[in-house]
Amino acid sequence: MTYSTYEQGTSAVKARKAPRAPSESRLAAILNTPAVILILVLLAFPIANSLWISLHRYDLKRPGDTPFIGLKNYTDALSSDAFWHSLKVTGLFAFFAVLGVTATGIAIALLLNESFKGRGILRSLILLPWAMPPVVNGIMWAWIFNGRYGAFNGLLYDLGLIDAYRLWLTDIKLAWVVLVFAYVWNQLPFVVIVMLSALQAIPNELYDAARVDRANTVQAFFNVTLPWLWQALLIVLILQTMGALRIFDIVYVMTSGGPGNATDVVAWLTWRTAFQFLDFGKGNTYAIIVSVITLALAVLYIKVLLKRGEFAV
């Protein structure tokens, strides 16, 4: 492994222009400065600031009156039924959304890994949901599941599966099922693409070996395919879970947390607390609690990635 890099080699040449050729670490420092400054100012500082604000009573309705109250926002949050309810709703949503999108995604990836006519078209088509902004996705599904004029009701009715129209989005039990449905459709391409590329990386020799051992399709799937997919699957699961825990856009346009508080997810509660009730202290506290929960997932993800990095190259 040679690290003979550009700058070392050119130092003699460059000496004419620059009095001292920058060393590799100096060049690296220069190159990383803009990115690091931007991230420190607009990501790291806000996080620290957010922690700080969460220790204060910071209510925009009472300007100039922001006393330090220690952990009171946290104890309030943890004893608030609304917050626990939103955690429960978010967790349930994330569980079913991740389960749905992963299972459907793997099924479609397996299909697209087979050879059949029109596979190329289907592989292009799968990018369509990815191109759709979540807000448009939400509006589209809300219109499809519209209780009075919706296409879904019309379809089920035409097929004779229901004898009366259903109010999907205003039914406490059905509303979040519709949310999961809309979310899965939107997120599917990512899962399919990652899983498909993992499938394509499986060496064919393994399947030859499995055939020699007289393994059937199911056995080959569990003994050859699945172990190879494991790493990609883990990454998909982590990223999808983090995404689902942050769900906001489609809740905003489809249910507004309703009916009642049936789909009052954490991001929605945070947004309302901060920007409708103008209680930034409490809003920040909710945001921090959620961040801590997703932090564990983030650490896991980084570990998986960097571990792979050592094997690569």
* Residues numbered 61-100 forming contacts with other proteins, rule: CB under 8 A: none
Question: Cβ atoms within 10 A of the Cβ of 23, count?
Answer: 12
Q: Cα separation of 93 and 179, whole Å? A: 8
User: Residue 305: which of 225, 224, 234 has the closest Cα?
Assistant: 234
Amino acid (1-letter code) at residue 91? G
* Residue 161 engages other proteins in binding (rule: CB under 8 A): no
Task: Tell which one of 71, 208, 222, 260 touches other proteins (CB under 8 A).
Answer: 208
| Chain residues 249-268 in contact with other proteins, contact rule CB under 8 A | 249, 252-253, 266-267
* Residue 276 engages other proteins in binding (rule: CB under 8 A): no
User: Residue 4: which of 24, 21, 29 has the closest Cα?
Assistant: 24
Provide, rounded to whole angstroms, the least separation between the CB of residue 240 and other proteins. Answer: 10
Provide, rounded to whole angstroms, the least separation between the CB of residue 130 and other proteins. Answer: 7
Of 138 and 262, the one with the shorter C-beta distance to other proteins is: 138
* Residue 142 engages other proteins in binding (rule: CB under 8 A): yes
Angle value at C-alpha 273, between 169 and 59, nearest 5 degrees? 165
Q: Which stretch binds other proteins (CB under 8 A): 64-72, 95-103, 172-180, 183-191?
A: 183-191
Task: Tell which one of 92, 162, 172, 298 touches other proteins (CB under 8 A).
Answer: 298
Task: Tell which one of 78, 127, 162, 172 touches other proteins (CB under 8 A).
Answer: 127
Task: Tell which one of 19, 20, 34, 173 touches other proteins (CB under 8 A).
Answer: 34
Q: Cα separation of 101 and 186, whole Å? A: 9
Burial of 283 (0-12, 13-18, 19+ CB in 10 A): buried
* Residue 47 engages other proteins in binding (rule: CB under 8 A): yes
Q: Cα separation of 3 and 1, whole Å? A: 7
Task: Tell which one of 19, 25, 163, 164 touches other proteins (CB under 8 A).
Answer: 25
β-strand partners of 270: none
Question: Cβ atoms within 10 A of the Cβ of 201, count?
Answer: 10
Provide, rounded to whole angstroms, the least separation between the CB of residue 144 and other proteins. Answer: 6
Provide, rounded to whole angstroms, the least separation between the CB of residue 281 and other proteins. Answer: 10
Q: Dihedral sign, CA of 152, 158, 163, 164?
A: positive
User: Residue 175: which of 166, 163, 184 has the closest Cα?
Assistant: 166
Task: Tell which one of 78, 103, 151, 226 touches other proteins (CB under 8 A).
Answer: 151
Task: Tell which one of 115, 164, 173, 276 touches other proteins (CB under 8 A).
Answer: 115
Provide, rounded to whole angstroms, the least separation between the CB of residue 276 and other proteins. Answer: 12
Residue 257 gets the label, from left (phi > 0), alpha (psi -120 to 50) or beta, of left
